[in-house]
Amino acid sequence: MNTGSPTSLADPPVTASRRRILARTRLDFWPDGLLLVAYTFAYSLGFTGIAIHEWLGIGLGVVLLVNLTLHWDWVIRTTRKLVRRGGRERVVWLVNLLLLSMTLCIASGILISQVALPRLGITLPASSFWRQVHGTTATLTLILVPIHAALRWRWIVGVARRFAAWRPGRSR
Amino acid sequence: MKFVRHLSAVVLAVAVIVGLGMLWAHACGGGPGSGSSLRRAPSHEALLRLEQVKAGVIRVHSGNGFHLADTGDLIRTCVIEAVLATVVITGSAVRRRHRRGGVSPPPGRKAACRCRHGLWRQRSIAACGSAPMMLASAASSGASANPAGPGHAWPGHVVP
């Protein structure tokens, strides 16, 4: 039988709130990490081969869409700051550039697909323009992804430490 | 509901980006099908490479799976990312240190307290004589200036 003391009755809202924060942090941390690792693999075409490269790219597109949706408020906020203020916010324009280049990279990759789309029954005519756009935006994204991660390195280290210290069943 | 609203905004933004790309492609005369309609003769290097492939000098992968022999490609990507991240982190750390005037935080008080003049809390009153950020509000509200005494921990003190 569960007979909680007055303090334990007062505890649940606090614990629930903390859990929610942790869940939100997890939701921020893992998809970003996944995007970084997946992009690293996808860029190494010689290692993955064309089929894995393309499927990984499509998966990246889906994760990017979800990630952007979850952080849409932040995207709007950053873009507004970009227009209004200077200082450190000037650096953050890189992030918006990253979103733009990654979106174009994935879209152009889908448009020049040789394996994934034909397997789904979709065939698009070859285009040298999109091939060129894909190459350029992929290189730009490769430069911007580590910069994006490095700009938030304090947060990454902090969260990684918390995850390393976290044990199931132990409230923090 | 909020998720759906944001998702539609994201999809719209992506559609705009791709649409602009399509317009660009159209303006450049490189729209879909341009690769097949504007066929050029293959370059000398491409022909040479094709000969080498046919002769078996260059191995060609089927492209359907990982090629563990080609880890060089993956390593190169990782190195590029690591170098760029290191440069940004180092720059950020140096800038942060410079902003703090090269004064490292006292042990056990990493980023908690600094006075208005950028000196660390323990030195602030003795060295520059300025009040920490919380002092002004405490003085205006009639509270005692520093309950712990000068040069000691200041509860609730914020970084300027």
- Condensed to tens digits (0 to 9), the pLDDT of residues A103-140 reads 889 989 998 888 888 888 888 777 788 888 899 999 99
Tokens of A62: 């889906």
pLDDT for res B1:
79
Q: How far apart are CA A55 and CA B149, in angstroms?
A: 64
From chain A, pick out residues whose CB is under 8 angstroms from the CB of B87.
150
Interface test with B, best of A52, A64, A72 (most B CBs within 10 A): A72
Which chain B residue lies closest to A114 (C-alpha atoms)? B63
Q: Is B71 in contact with A43 (Cβ distance < 8 A)?
A: no
Residues 33-92 of A with CB under 8 A from B: 36, 40-41, 43-52, 65, 68-70, 72-73
Q: Is A125 in contact with B35 (Cβ distance < 8 A)?
A: yes
Residues 74-133 of B with CB under 8 A from A: 74, 76-78, 80-82, 84-89, 92
Nearest to B12 by CA among A109, A144, A84, A68: A68
Q: How far apart are CA A98 and CA B136, in angstroms?
A: 43
pLDDT for res A114:
86
- CB of B16 within 8 Å of a chain A CB? The answer is no
Q: Is B85 in contact with A49 (Cβ distance < 8 A)?
A: no
Stretch A145-155: mean pLDDT, rounded?
86
From chain B, pick out residues whose CB is under 8 angstroms from the CB of A113.
none
Q: Is B66 in contact with A49 (Cβ distance < 8 A)?
A: yes
Name the DSSP class of B69.
G
Which chain B residue lies closest to A104 (C-alpha atoms)? B18
Question: Which residues, including other chains, have CB under 8 Å from residue B70's CB and lie 6 or more apart?
Answer: A44, A46, A47, B61
Low-confidence ranges of chain B (pLDDT < 50): 35-38, 109-112, 115-160
Say how many C-beta atoms besides its own lie within 10 A of residue B127's C-beta.
13
Q: Is A100 in contact with B9 (Cβ distance < 8 A)?
A: no
Interface test with B, best of A36, A40, A63, A69 (most B CBs within 10 A): A69
pLDDT for res B46:
67
Strand partners, A115: none
For residue A25, name the pLDDT band (cuts at 50, 70, 90): confident
From chain A, pick out residues whose CB is under 8 angstroms from the CB of B2.
none
Stretch A54-65: mean pLDDT, rounded?
90
Interface test with B, best of A41, A77, A108, A130 (most B CBs within 10 A): A130
pLDDT for res B86:
93
For residue A94, name the pLDDT band (cuts at 50, 70, 90): low
Stretch A35-49: mean pLDDT, rounded?
88
From chain B, pick out residues whose CB is under 8 angstroms from the CB of A153.
85, 88-89, 92
Ranking A74-78, A80-84, B80-84, B137-141 by mean pLDDT, the lowest is B137-141
pLDDT for res A105:
92
Which chain B residue lies closest to A141 (C-alpha atoms)? B81
Nearest to A163 by CA among A20, A23, A16, A64: A23
Nearest to A98 by CA among A79, A117, A115: A79
Q: What is the CA radius of gyration of chain B?
A: 31
More confident residue, A12 or B97: B97
Angle, CA of A110, A116 and A117, to the nearest 5°: 60
A76 contacts B13 by C-beta, under 8 angstroms: no
Q: How far apart are CA B116 and CA B133, in angstroms?
A: 6
pLDDT for res A172:
45
Q: How far apart are CA B146 and CA A95, in angstroms?
A: 43
Is the C-alpha dihedral spanning B140, B141, B142, B147 positive or negative?
negative
pLDDT for res A30:
84
